Amino acid sequence: MAAVALWPMAAFTQQALYAAVPGSTPVPPGGTPGIAIAGISEDHTSVLMATGGHSQELGDVHAVLARFGKASDDGAPHPEAFIYPGIRYLTPWRDVEKILVPFNTGMRNGDKIACAGFPEGLNWVRYDGRWVFNNHAYNHLFIVKDIRSQVVCIEFLQEHGSWRQDWPSLPGNWHVIDYVNAEVKGQPRVQIITQVFDDRGAGHRIVVHTTSPQIKRTVTLFLPQPLVNLMLACTQTTPAAPNK
């Protein structure tokens, strides 16, 4: 199966890559544009925060994202925010498939987001195949979308390998290896390395890379700034466990 070649991370800092992409945030018939989740009103003034899940998940989500955003229940479309070059925040799901999913890639049924800290109502679709990003191969893609099938983030997963990116590592005793699937380490001695590429200047987003040399698992999660801020608002409703 041929791999999908993706933009190298060095290219993400080039403003032209973003400016050349037209806006694609849809306006539903008779509705208001913006993210559609279980607890957000049509005028985007309130949001039902996700309160379930493990305190470790809440602690890690807050500890990572608090460095790069500010809690907000703003559900506006934010066309300036990107998930990936060519993919704006709230791009229709099928349009994202055309960019990232080859015709012969297997797709599994999706499910709702399980990790505490995400807004209620998000769900994912999983694809099995091969994606090469920053010279490393991943064997799964997760596209995360809202109730209207607008894409809010994407994740690449490699189940059988571990590597670091050439990005800053965040200090701390991390527990979550996979935020979309709410997977935490099972043993205290397992090391989770968390790195973040800060692309808020050009792309209005961050990229979170988690890997573990012991369990040979690597995940790269692309988060646009509006979702980062919503997630920080979600983590405020339940006291987050300290990252220690």
pLDDT tens digits, one per residue of 77-128: 999 999 998 899 999 999 999 999 877 677 777 898 878 889 989 999 999 9
For residue 17, the surrounding DSSP H or E stretch is helix 15-19
Give the distance between the most distant pair of CA atoms in the chain.
53
What's the pLDDT tens digit per position in 166-179?
A: 999 999 999 999 99
| 223, pLDDT greater than 80 | yes
The single residue listed with the structure tokens 């933009």 is: 7
Give me the pLDDT at residue 108, please: 76
| 18, pLDDT greater than 60 | no
Band (196; pLDDT cuts 50, 70, 90): very high
State mean pLDDT over 208-224: 97
CA dist 49 and 102 (Å) reads: 35
Give me the pLDDT at residue 139, please: 94
89 Cβ neighbours under 8 A, 6+ residues apart:
25, 77, 78, 79, 81, 82, 83, 151, 152, 204, 205, 224, 226, 227
CA dist 153 and 9 (Å) reads: 17
Greater confidence, 118 or 22? 118
| 154, pLDDT greater than 90 | yes
The values of phi and psi at residue 9, to 5°, are -60, -30
98 Cβ neighbours under 8 A, 6+ residues apart:
none
Give me the pLDDT at residue 238, please: 47
